[in-house]
Amino acid sequence: MSVATAFFYLFSFITIASAAMVILGRNPVHSVLFLILAFVSAAGLFVLAGAEFLAMLLVVVYVGAVMVLFLFVVMMLDVDFAELQKSMRRYLPVSGLIGLVVLVELVLVVGSWTVAPQAVLSTPTPDGMSNTAALGQVLYTQYAYLFQAAGLVLLTAMIGAIVLTLQHRPNVKRQNISAQNARTRAGAIENKQVPSRTGVPVP
């Protein structure tokens, strides 16, 4: 057994075990941590397969942003997870059906790749160029306009989400920069002639 094969079995075992612990874990924080471990192990499998760009994308985007953000949300929100788990039992038939469909699809994909590997669509990487460099060359030359259009769509979605969730509360003091800059000494300072030993009257 070669070193690459040994690492493949190691990463595969860790990925499957951590994915199972995500589902079986009772503590949601532990489930998130096992999900991060599953993503890192899957990134290792991508590196072994020669897709280092997907591996780094999986680590940076999912582990570095999505999972950490989800972990913070789970830790900050006061959610009754015992009651949530009781309500999830109603959706077991639907979730079981979806899991069965996903399992059938995985079996068909693996079976088709095992029976006829030449039928799998693949684009060969040019000689002397890594997978990331080849992907960047195609993405920023042939599909440059589509890539920029996808960025604009995501920017529009982000702005729309901010606008829809932004709520102005009426009893909250807000800072008005233009009003602060327009203030003068006469409008900001008021002199009071207070007689001796009388104090300042409280309004």
Stretch 185-195: mean pLDDT: 78
Q: Which of 15-24, 66-75, 93-102 has the highest mean pLDDT?
A: 15-24
| pLDDT > 70? residue 72 | yes
Q: What is the 3-state secondary structure (H, E, C) of 143-187?
A: CHHHHHHHHHHHHHHHHHHHHHHCCCCCCCCCCCHHHHHCCCHHH
Domain boundaries, the chain: 1-79, 83-117, 131-165
Under DSSP, the state recorded for 39 is: H
Domain range 1-79, CATH architecture: Up-down Bundle (1.20)
pTM above 0.95, yes or no: no
For residue range 10-27, list pLDDT tens digits in order: 888 888 988 888 888 777
